[in-house]
Amino acid sequence: MAVQINPSILSADFSRLAEEVKAVDGADWLHVDVMDNHFVPNLTLGTPVVEALARTTDTPLDCHLMIEDADRWAPQYVEAGAGSVTFHVEAAAAPVRLAREIRAKGARASMALKPATPIEPYEDLLPELDMLLIMTVEPGFGGQAFLDIMLPKIRRTRELISKHGLELWLQVDGGVSASTIEQCAEAGADVFVAGSAVYGASDPAAAVRALRTQAERAIAQASWACDD
Ligand SMILES: O=C(CO)[C@H](O)[C@H](O)COP(=O)(O)O
């Protein structure tokens, strides 16, 4: 089970974005938060910045779309250079069709759930996805406290992934830090987004390495990983 640490550039200094991206060389993916001021009360960036990032780095881009009308916009992020596109199920009219379109265009298809959205209604959709993102804060802002009441949802999702024998990655995003990453890994997550824990550190690359070591240790001892 390969642990992945994806730094979120939401916590980077946008005035030095290229340098901030370089500072996390060695990360598995770069997490790019796209917000439209409608689905969430914050506004960040769109496809021109994703295109610029794709020219700047060889690290693949993990675009998390916190935007309305995901069916219309998500395919454009594949064209802009994203290697993985995450849409929110709450913002997609036809999530299966959208996941298939993202895959057909050549990117990994991922679906996100806000904290109040349960996983159970979406069990049948899981084979259509390459990754499921469980938000561990309300989407919209970096630097929020981790919602530990999401741990049972992470556990249930991991059980569903095992039950169906899927290769689905399970990502967590929000408040992931040295204090919380082990609980997430123990519950079943294997892909970890970290913004302030990485860019708030004096050495972001070292912070990525330290988080990876913690997650790997926790997963090695986790019952869900031992049963595989
Ligand atoms: O999706 C997000 C917010 O909606 C961010 O990716 C997330 O909050 C990362 O920041 P931090 O690690 O500081 O919580």
Atom of ligand 1 nearest to the CA of 135: 1
Tell me the pLDDT band of 1, cut-offs 50, 70 and 90: low
* Arithmetic mean of pLDDT over the chain: 97
Across the range 183-198, mean pLDDT stands at 98
Residue 28 annotated as lining a ligand binding site:
no
Q: Catalytic residue among 33, 62, 130, 190, which?
A: 33
Domain ranges of the chain: 4-226
Q: What phi, psi does 36 have (nearest 5°)? A: -115, 5
Q: How confident is the model at residue 32 (pLDDT cuts 50, 70, 90)?
A: very high
Rg of the chain over all Cα atoms, to the nearest angstrom: 16
Span 81-126, pLDDT tens digits: 999 999 999 999 999 999 999 999 999 999 999 999 999 999 999 9
Report pLDDT digits (tens) over 141-178: 999 999 999 999 999 999 999 999 999 999 999 999 99
| Catalytic residue status for 33 | yes
Supply the pLDDT for residue 26: 86
Q: Which atom of ligand 1 is nearest to the CA of 194?
A: 12
Task: Give the model's pLDDT for residue 81.
Answer: 98
pLDDT of residue 227: 58
Would you state the pLDDT for residue 31?
98
Distance between CA atoms of residues 23 and 206, nearest Å: 10
The pLDDT, as a whole number, for residue 121 is: 98
Residue 72: other Cβ atoms inside 10 A: 12
| Ligand 1 center from residue 227 Cα (angstroms) | 31
Question: What would the CATH number be for the domain defined by 4-226?
Answer: 3.20.20.70
Summarize pLDDT for 203-228 with one digit per residue, the tens.
Answer: 999 999 999 999 999 999 998 987 55
pLDDT at 15: 97
Distances 218 to 3, 26, 184, 187, 205 between C-alpha atoms, Å: 10, 21, 9, 9, 20
| Minimum mean pLDDT range among 58-72, 186-200, 214-228 | 214-228
Using CB atoms within 10 Å of the CB of residue 48, give its burial: 0 to 12 exposed, 13 to 18 middle, 19+ buried: exposed
25 is catalytic: no
How wide is the angle at C-alpha 32 spanned by C-alphas 46 and 84, nearest 5°?
Answer: 100
Question: Can you list the alpha helix ranges (DSSP code H) found in 147-202?
Answer: 151-163, 181-187, 196-199
Which of 28, 130, 173, 190 is catalytic? The answer is 173
